[in-house]
Amino acid sequence: MGKILVLVEVQNSRVRKASLSGVTFAADLAGRTSGTFDIAVMGPGARAAAPSLAGFGAGKVHVLESPGLSSYLARPWAGAAASMVEAVGADCLVAVSTTWTRDMLPRVAARLGAGMVSEAVGIDGSGSDVMFRRPMWAGNVIATVRVKTPRCVICVRGTEFSPAEPSGGSSPVVELAVDVAADPAARHVSFEPTVSERPDLAEADVVVSGGRGLGDKASFWNTLNPLADYLGAAIGATRAVVDNGVAPNDLQVGQTGKAVAPSLYFAVGLSGAIQHLAGMKNSKVIVAINKDEEAPIFSIADYCLVGDALKLVPELVDTLKKS
């Protein structure tokens, strides 16, 4: 595996910290295969964000910013990413698993005729014998897979790897000239970003998540908001809560939602279904509050409170404010 290209996500002209876990993965893979890695950024704000990536030890930082990428549409973005891989001469494309990359990377792999590994959580072996570990069946099984195609696409579970830190040096920033074909079957209509004063869920240091045990929408928010406000935390939710319309989809934590690994995770009124645990089990400290002492969440929690969350959480907030 000669050259690895790691795609880093840009939002509002700034690099998303969570996507830097892909750089950590790419550096490890390059070391195991006697290869090198480059970094790439694409889309609006890529040109402004690129210089901040020059100190991460990459051979080059590639920039692709085009009017055709002004708004995300899967086909033109996937086509541009595939062309970028070919222009750079990369053997492997790496990116952290996000809503964006989960939509785009399978299309890139198809265009390149490349084997793909999704939700990679580790690397085994070295040289031509390098293999990748990925979870299956909600994390109950870890599969070890080898990619046999000349090129590969790897979607990395970011919470399994620490975000890369600048290591010194100054990689050259190179503009790529890639044609971006319009999508004849779709057009971008509008984009309405979610505005919140809370930290981004995927990058928050503290997360307070709630489950069905909190009851209806009013109880859910009235219980979690004071605790999250005091801790400066992001708020998360289980899939059941999202499916019931209590919380928006972008707050879902779990196998089909976001994977988080904060320093402190509060699991409030949630039982700990396998699908939810898959998205938060790497949290450094887990505090669980549930009235069912047999709830699965207690098996991985560092601190357990057995009781009615609707009563315990307000009491906890009052105690914290007095301390």
Separation of alpha carbons 170 and 27, rounded Å: 16
Q: What is the pLDDT of residue 99?
A: 87
Q: Which two tokens stand for residue 167?
A: 């290591």
Mean pLDDT of 283-295: 96
Whether residues 123 and 234 share a domain: the answer is no
Whether residues 136 and 265 share a domain: the answer is no
Whether residues 222 and 312 share a domain: the answer is yes
Separation of alpha carbons 211 and 258, rounded Å: 15
Is 286 in a helix, a strand, or coil? strand
Q: Which of 42, 19, 44 is nearest to 191 (CA)?
A: 44
Boundary of a domain, candidates 175, 198, 225: 175
CB burial class (10 A; 0-12, 13-18, 19+) of residue 48?
middle
Q: Is residue 183 in a domain?
A: no
Total structural domains in the chain? 2
Q: Where are the alpha helices (DSSP H) in 10-139?
A: 21-33, 46-49, 74-88, 99-112
Q: Are 88 and 3 in contact (CB under 8 A)?
A: yes
Q: Is residue 272 in a domain?
A: yes
Q: Is residue 122 in a domain?
A: yes
Whether residues 161 and 273 share a domain: the answer is no
Q: Are 41 and 31 in contact (CB under 8 A)?
A: no
Domain of residue 103, residue span:
3-175
Separation of alpha carbons 298 and 261, rounded Å: 17
Q: Is residue 119 in a domain?
A: yes
Q: Is residue 198 in a domain?
A: no
The letter for the amino acid at 15 is V
Q: Is residue 186 in a domain?
A: no
What's the pLDDT band for 107 if we cut at 50, 70, 90?
very high
What is the bridge-based pairing of β-strands 234-237 and 206-210? parallel
Of the chain, the percentage scoring pLDDT greater than 90 comes to 81
Whether residues 30 and 111 share a domain: the answer is yes
Whether residues 221 and 102 share a domain: the answer is no
Q: Where are the alpha helices (DSSP H) in 139-246?
A: 217-231, 239-243
Q: Is residue 276 in a domain?
A: yes
What mean pLDDT value characterizes the chain?
94
Instruction: Please identify which residue in the block is written with the tokens 């009124």.
Output: 269
Whether residues 99 and 227 share a domain: the answer is no
In our burial notation (b when 16+ CB lie closer than 10 A, e otherwise), range 127-139 reads eeebebbbbeebb
Over residues 55-86, the pLDDT tens digits come to: 999 999 999 999 889 899 999 999 999 999 99
Separation of alpha carbons 232 and 225, rounded Å: 10
Whether residues 239 and 314 share a domain: the answer is yes
Whether residues 286 and 144 share a domain: the answer is no
Give the side-chain half-sphere CA count within 13 A for 110: 9
The interaxial angle of helices 309-322 and 217-231, nearest 10 deg, is 20
Whether residues 211 and 297 share a domain: the answer is yes
Q: Which helix (H) or strand (E) holds 274?
A: helix 274-280
Top-confidence range, 48-52, 163-167, 168-172, 191-195 = 48-52
Q: What is the CATH number of the domain that holds 228?
A: 3.40.50.1220
Whether residues 159 and 12 share a domain: the answer is yes
Over residues 132-178, the pLDDT tens digits come to: 999 888 777 899 999 999 999 999 999 999 999 998 889 999 999 88
Whether residues 12 and 160 share a domain: the answer is yes
Q: Is residue 185 in a domain?
A: no
DSSP letter at 160?
G
Q: How far apart, in Å, are the Cα atoms of 190 and each of 73, 93, 104, 156, 184?
A: 12, 29, 19, 29, 17
Boundary of a domain, candidates 155, 175, 195: 175
What's the pLDDT band for 129 if we cut at 50, 70, 90?
very high
Residue 286 has pLDDT above 90, yes or no: yes
Q: What is the pLDDT of residue 210?
A: 97
Boundary of a domain, candidates 125, 152, 175: 175
Q: What is the pLDDT of residue 194?
A: 74
Q: Which of 132, 155, 153, 130 is nearest to 142 (CA)?
A: 132
What's the pLDDT band for 28 if we cut at 50, 70, 90?
very high
Q: What is the CATH number of the domain that holds 12?
A: 3.40.50.620
